[in-house]
Structure 1
């Protein structure tokens, strides 16, 4: 990853805004790109005058937004039938898939904004939003808000941290990755709780 990281940072340095837009667009689809490092580095570039802060924020937000929306439509094109095909590899049966779909329809859109801040988890949210055919207008608004907040956070950090950006962002990335795992577990617990509660109601009826 170190070699890839250096190549991507070099791409941002030379191509600036369009490089940033391209890298983040592919990163949000699921290509293994260190998104937080890319944005923090771009923020650092604004602190030394190599890039403009407002333009950097705009292209980072736009790239993140485009990537998340591409992921949505890829998930929507593949659909739940694709999930059914790979279900045996995920140790899921038909009932679990139906419950997961129903649960996501009820609660999943609340995770779109916060999901941006957790590596890996944001990709799950985007793809499953499409697979479960979450209302696209609502998804567009929430993914736009999330993209702006996420980009603003890391570009501002890179700008304020200056030459110390790399060490601090590496530490923050580590904790966010762990947070993503915790969040996934939390989502799983809520899913199991709602599933068991629905089962109990069915038996009572």
Structure 2
């Protein structure tokens, strides 16, 4: 059931990037940074795959991803600034965000202060929620965006680089080409599996807590 629902999400991610180019990357990464479950671990590697085809430039892909992170983070920052934990407690479940996610981000922020925004942008999962405690703490907006961009760029670059290298391998290694037949179909399968795994895991966690 979950697979039937989420497979179109993966196809939509591919369609947005394929049709909209760099702007599509900005849009999807903005959604991811606004705490909506579109994992950057899926978005950026597929963008890197398109680098291997000659469609995109690796550095521009990373920059587009980082810009998207900044734009999406505005939502988390403003919600944290004006709504705080009460907003997450009431509405977080609709985007697979819970108090545990926020608690991890708040722990990092309480210990390390503003530099946490930069560091946590390099960490899976926590990176998407760090804007909330930054907003609660009313971190200076210019510093927040500067740290967000500096931390997000290498993350986006690294994921895109992996996707690019895999794309090159699929296209140049005859053994892989023979096994996979069509690189595009393989990428679709990987992305669909990644999205299904990520969201399915969050749904299982929520059901376990309700028991």
Moved >6 Å (runs of 4+): 83-86, 100-103
Alignment of 1:54-203 (within 5 A): 54-79=59-84, 104-162=109-167
Q: Is the CA contact 2:108–2:116 (under 8 Å) kept in the aligned structure 1?
A: no
Relative to the length of structure 1, the TM-score reads 0.65
The answer as to whether partners of 2:77 and 2:135 remain within 8 angstroms in 1 is yes
- Could you say which structure has the higher helix fraction? 1
Aligned residues: 163
What per-residue deviation string (whole Å, max 9, x for no partner) do you get for residues 31-76 of structure 1?
1102121111101101111223333222112111211233212211
2:78/2:135 contact within 8 Å kept: yes
RMSD: 3.5
Query: Which of residues 21, 42, 46 in structure 1 aligns to 2:26?
Result: 21
Judging changes above 3 Å, is the alpha-carbon distance between structure 1 residues 123 and 82 closer, same or farther for their aligned structure 2 residues?
Answer: same
Q: In 2, are the aligned partners of 1:39 and 1:60 still within 8 Å (CA)? A: yes
CA contact (8 A) 2:32 2:128 kept: no
SS at 1:134 equivalent: coil
Tell me if structure 1 keeps the 8 A contact 2:89–2:99.
Answer: no
Unaligned stretches of 5+ in structure 1? Answer: 92-96, 178-205
For normalisation by structure 2, the TM-score amounts to: 0.63
State the alpha-carbon separation in 2 of the partners of residues 145 and 44 from structure 1.
23
Partner residue, 1:200: none
CA contact (8 A) 2:122 2:152 kept: no
